[in-house]
């Protein structure tokens, strides 16, 4: 039976991983009790006794956890930012291309994508890989997310009865263009420059919609070409669908608590709008991590997922 350890199971990502995996009878799931969950000796022992270790930790703690592992058979799935651009780690987005998915099958170290980055990459990676959009394109990305993406601290702030009134409206942030997801957004696609990125947090628990506009005259094709490119890339995917964008309104919480993703293409040949819709804690975090584990261990990739 597969032994699975969650280091950092008290945060939003760890809690959902634990909730999903606790229902399985083909793994032995374990965490550390509250009184020793930060104890270095206890963590090291747990990490080295696991077949799979999920790291749901801040960056520094994730790096520390990896340094504690001396068992060559322990496989690590890191949900932090720490290793997403490290060439020695496999990037955990199997649908992007077959090479990534095949790498996951034999990977020992996997970095799960950031939630905002997942939406951006799901749109941009296939378009650039197939030459429809040049790597020099000046990408702009808007991303609306539920407040659970900010972790326990932000969840508490939004649930506080005495919270500031401005929490009731969407709040844009990261104006300095130094958001922690930007390096992976550039590197994984192979862009010439990081996109202009406008993340926005709204007054809802979970869900996310990431929008990337494209000027038709600046790409090597039209709206139908974009649809065809994305549809071909995700053909056969169990978790990602490409659909026409026909509605006038779209709720970012439509796939809340789900682990799948929908990509919508709308607009016209001059101004194309592509939107990736998913749950920031699902395909954007915990669901993606479990999917990676399933592939790494030879299970059906959708096992334990809610789609």
Residue 152 reports pLDDT greater than 90: no
Q: What is the tens place of the pLDDT at every residue in 58-109?
A: 999 999 999 999 999 999 999 999 999 999 999 999 999 999 999 999 999 9
pLDDT of 246 higher than 90: no
pLDDT for the residue numbered 177: 95
Radius of gyration of the chain measured on its C-alpha atoms: 19
CATH number of 2-113+285-297: 3.40.50.720
Least confident piece of the model among 87-91, 209-213, 245-249, 255-259 = 245-249
Give the model's pLDDT for residue 268: 96
Q: What is the mean pLDDT of residues 192-216?
A: 97
pLDDT tens digits along 275-294:
999 999 999 999 999 999 99
Partners of 53 in the beta sheet?
5, 76
pLDDT at 9: 86
pTM value?
0.96
At residue 10, the pLDDT reads 85
- 37 has a pLDDT exceeding 90: no
Quote the mean pLDDT of the chain.
95
Mean pLDDT confidence for 176-203: 97
The average pLDDT across 192-202 equals: 97
Is the CB of residue 129 less than 8 Å from the CB of residue 100? no
* CB of 169 closer than 8 Å to CB of 201: no
- What is the pLDDT at residue 290? 98
Inform me whether the pLDDT recorded for 151 exceeds 90. no
Do 172 and 116 contact (CB within 8 A), yes or no?
Answer: no
At residue 39, does pLDDT exceed 90? no
- Active site positions, annotated: 115
Residues 6+ apart with CB under 8 A from 124: 133, 139, 185, 189, 191, 212
Residue 1: predicted pLDDT: 87
Q: Where in the chain is CATH 3.40.50.720?
A: 2-113+285-297
pLDDT score of 38? 85
Start and end residues for every CATH 3.30.360.10 domain found in the chain = 115-280
Orientation of helix 40-48 relative to helix 59-68, angle to 10°: 60
In the block, residue with structure tokens 């600046």:
218
Residue 33 has pLDDT above 90, yes or no: no
Q: Do residues 189 and 128 touch, judged by C-beta distance below 8 A?
A: yes
Mean pLDDT of 135-154: 95
High-pLDDT (> 90) share of the chain, %: 92
- Provide the pairing of β-strand 75-78 with 90-91: unpaired
Tokens of 210: 């990431």
152 or 59: whose pLDDT is higher?
59
**Cβ–Cβ < 8 Å for 265, 244:** yes
Give residue 200's pLDDT band: very low, low, confident or very high (50, 70, 90): very high
**Architecture of domain 115-280 in this structure:** 2-Layer Sandwich (3.30)
Among residues 248, 300, 252, which one has the least CA distance to residue 115? 252
**291: which 2 tokens?**
């999917």
């Amino acid at each position: 039976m597969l032994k699975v350890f969650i280091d950092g199971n008290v945060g939003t990502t760890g809690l959902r991983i634990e909730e999903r995996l606790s229902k399985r009878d083909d793994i032995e799931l374990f965490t550390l009790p509250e009184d020793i969950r930060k104890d270095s000796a206890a963590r090291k022992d747990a990490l080295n006794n696991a077949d799979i270790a999920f790291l749901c930790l801040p960056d520094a703690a994730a790096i520390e956890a990896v340094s504690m592992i001396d068992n060559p058979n322990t496989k690590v799935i890191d949900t932090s930012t720490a290793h997403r651009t490290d060439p020695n780690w496999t990037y955990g987005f199997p649908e992007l291309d077959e090479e990534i998915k095949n790498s996951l099958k034999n990977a020992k170290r996997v970095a799960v994508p950031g939630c905002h980055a997942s939406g951006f990459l799901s749109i941009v990676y296939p378009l650039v890989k197939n030459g429809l959009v040049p790597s020099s394109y000046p990408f702009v990305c808007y991303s609306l997310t539920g407040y659970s993406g900010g972790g326990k601290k932000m969840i508490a702030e939004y649930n506080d009865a005495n919270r500031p009134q401005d929490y009731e409206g969407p709040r844009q942030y990261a104006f300095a263009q130094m958001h922690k997801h930007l390096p992976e957004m550039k590197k994984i696609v192979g862009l010439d420059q990081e996109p202009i990125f406008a993340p926005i947090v709204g007054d809802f628990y979970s869900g996310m919609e990431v929008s990337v506009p494209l000027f038709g005259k600046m790409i090597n094709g039209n709206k139908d070409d974009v649809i065809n490119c994305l549809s071909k890339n995700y053909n056969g995917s169990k978790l990602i669908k490409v659909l026409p964008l026909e509605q006038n309104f779209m709720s970012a919480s439509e796939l809340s608590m789900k682990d799948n993703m929908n990509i919508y293409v709308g607009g016209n040949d001059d101004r194309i709008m592509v939107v990736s819709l998913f749950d920031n804690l699902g395909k954007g975090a915990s669901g993606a991590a479990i999917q990676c584990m399933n592939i790494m261990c030879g299970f059906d990739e959708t096992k334990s997922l809610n789609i």
